[in-house]
Structure 1
């Protein structure tokens, strides 16, 4: 008979286990609510690196109310990331569809013709082939499962499926892959549309292209983690989608959001850019318009308004915990406030 090392436990048993691990639970009813709505794994395991450094016992004074508040704050950040990742995805797909339509036309057999693309794209971990991406595009065209599928509607009511319709149903991942396989003329067109050169500031085209690919991949991964309730705070960009800090810095004004010393980005700043903060700044850059960038910051700052202003302990405590776990600058709020004031 198998003895399971992670057996089922009732909420009452979970509460008693947490108490033996030194978690302060003064209100059993609240603890029951927390475990019933968030789950033991998401409430405890997700943040144990910060609150249980030895993996066995909570730091003295840790309460279940603190863990619950941190979890709710984390979900507010994730909802914010989801919202603006959708903005970013839509902007990217709009630019991509515009170039495909302008240069290749609106007939799928033409704008997805193999001759229009590179045969493959080499990334550090694998080789992406056009045949594989084209197959995913055809699957999207033939998908009958989504009732609100605009591609299906066009297939049944029009004589062609233009790029701006296909891309609405093509996944973010496959859209990025299609972009990677574009020949230089079309890919450069999309790159310059997403990152136009500013007056007095020119970024080499190769650097812009690399930044866009890495930023889009990172945004996609963080968005998926938020959407599927994965360990969002522990997520970091790896070498295959490491956001180039120097290019990101050039896309942002002055020394406001990425701190430099002697014109060099410090080690701590580079750590910040591997996590949520780097993805946030990348989304800001790709949002393009000043209006959207400022709205982005206003929405981020509004997350903090959801924390009770009357509690002079929980508010700074929450962000201090979150910043430590997610590798965000402790002065993130101040950086954004200064940016709003100076731009």
Structure 2
């Protein structure tokens, strides 16, 4: 189902991060002078580590863009390059058309204080401050008054469901509660761009699932532009509008979850995704087509409904669904045949020797 193009919020263009004795030697004013794969091989041969290799992608306003890969793939280095916690060796990073790599130190501090929010695996809470104090802390750095800080902090604490815990200290909270405080703190500044680097990986599976639910609830309300890092395939496919898969510093495929499981770019991606259940990953909106004058059925489903949820309705005799469009887009049509084709493909995957 096609949707109207959204404005680009963040653009990453030909970004490299190279560690070694003289990484700048390999780049000139144009960025680099030989083909990227050949350059990466040369860097490794000459005792340099190309942690990020020629990364390029664009993130639209309000999109959840997930970067995933195994440990050592370069995903955390890449997100640190985007925020300039790590300085890239070459490339461009554009926020609303402004090159962040040309920002001065003072300008970068202001951007981090006002435009960017960050949440990491290590919660990073200040142990001597209460929940209220931790959430209000970045507002104090901004120079907000005590009254403004408290009002805003209480709003964010309520948003993440921690009312009544304002006076608690971090050691009195569970891991999930501590992560909620970290999320509330990062949201307190009202960031346009939100970076989350494996924020739930230290949590128990049940709490992790609850935090994913909470994250999606917040995103439906706030519609932030989000870069989310994870090594967990199920988490990536559950949260992403689009995702990028990295290997050895290089992005090997970018696409919607359905695009990646149905059309993997290479054997590595295919092996990476082979255990993902198609019926859970693929949504109604992924298969819906333009009605082109065909009368739409009375049965209606949201674009985000998984095919797994629709199978029982097919069994009851439903032959097609109407899928509402986004914004001003017209509704589209989802047929039982297209769902059953995916079901057959899933069964073939499971019976393959």
Same fold (TM over 0.5): no
Give 1 or 2: higher strand fraction. Answer: 2
Query: TM-score, structure 2 length as denominator?
Result: 0.23
Query: TM-score, structure 1 length as denominator?
Result: 0.24
